[in-house]
Amino acid sequence: MFAVGHMAIAYLLGKGSSKALHTQINIPIILVLSILPDIDIVFDFLFGVNIHRGPTHSVVVAALVFIPFFIHYGKKAIPYFLALISHSVIGDFFIAGQLQLFWPLSRARFGLHELGSYYIDIFSPVNLALEVSLFIVATIVLYKSRDWKVFFKPKTTHLMLIIPITTVLLPSTIGYPFSESLLITAPVLAFAHLFYLVLFSIAVLKTFVFLYRKCFGHQNAEIPQSGFQPKTI
């Protein structure tokens, strides 16, 4: 899946699970976790290796990483864990597959296609229609729940949005790791990428401006110090 599909699934999962568990979530962190496994694309580019859909997509690795969070935060960590593993066990499992889901216990590749089903390419009409549909549903929920307002108020955790901006959203819109820009190959999906790019950039810039003013201007200004479990606006 593209970043748009991963983020839509994670947002909807995080929103639903937080309501069921009666907890609150930090939406930017949920969105960052949803695309974090694709950080291996950066390693492929920088070091010329081929580890995409390998260790960073492993549910075993994800579970190990989250052990201290489960110990400290309990059920509050569940929506974040679901956001992280949704990338592999939902998005990439059904689209393209070839995941090392149980690395390092096993180097076998898993996916819907590996189980004998139809292979769905990331650029297939099926996937493009699915991702656009997910984007629309997630955007409607984001608007109706007023969660979009979160991105227009400065928080230190908003700086984490630099990760999806620089590693997946901007590169894939321009072209990398694909041969052509999404603006050419999938313009509707490119629009969805641009939507998140603008929204995330606003959040990051507003936070930077606030920090600048705090350091060099209004010394009494205070910025919310959001941790793992901040209050949702």
For the cut 80, the answer to whether the pLDDT of residue 226 exceeds it is no
Mean pLDDT of 60-76: 96
pLDDT band at residue 233 under the 50/70/90 scheme: very low
pLDDT for residue 27 is more than 60 = yes
Cα(100)–Cα(118) distance, rounded to whole angstroms? 19
Residues 4-12: what's their mean pLDDT? 96
Higher pLDDT, 1 or 83: 83
Per-residue pLDDT at 228 = 55
User: Helices (DSSP H) in the chain: which residue ranges?
Assistant: 3-21, 27-35, 40-47, 59-73, 78-86, 93-94, 125-144, 162-164, 170-174, 182-185, 187-216
SS3 112: coil
Q: For the chain, what is the mean pLDDT? A: 88
Residue 232 banded pLDDT, cuts 50, 70, 90: very low
Q: How confident is the model at residue 175 (pLDDT cuts 50, 70, 90)?
A: low
Does pTM top 0.95 for this prediction?
no
Q: In the predicted model, what is the mean pLDDT of residues 31-42?
A: 89
- Between 216 and 84, residue with greater pLDDT: 84
The answer to whether residues 184 and 216 touch, using CB atoms and an 8 Å cutoff, is: no
Range in 23-27, 37-41, 171-175, 185-189 the model is least confident about: 171-175
Give the whole-angstrom CA distance, residue 147 versus residue 27. Answer: 8
Residue 110 bridge partners (DSSP): 99
DSSP 8-state secondary structure symbol assigned to residue 76: G
More confident residue, 226 or 57: 57
CA distance 101 to 92: 10
Q: What is the DSSP letter of 229?
A: S
Tell me the three-class secondary structure of 127-172, residue by residue.
Answer: HHHHHHHHHHHHHHHHHHCCHHHHHHCCCHHHHHHHHHHHHHHHHH
Burial 128-156, CB ≥16 within 10 A → b, else e = bebbbebbeebbeebeeeebeebbeebbe
| C-beta separation of 9 from 91 below 8 A | yes
Q: pLDDT tens digits for 70-107?
A: 999 999 999 999 999 999 999 999 998 889 999 999 99
pLDDT in tens, 114-170: 888 889 998 899 999 999 999 999 999 999 999 999 999 999 999 999 999 988 888
Categorize the per-residue pLDDT at 24 as very low, low, confident or very high, splitting at 50, 70 and 90.
very high
CA torsion 233→145→183→128, rounded to 10°?
A: 130
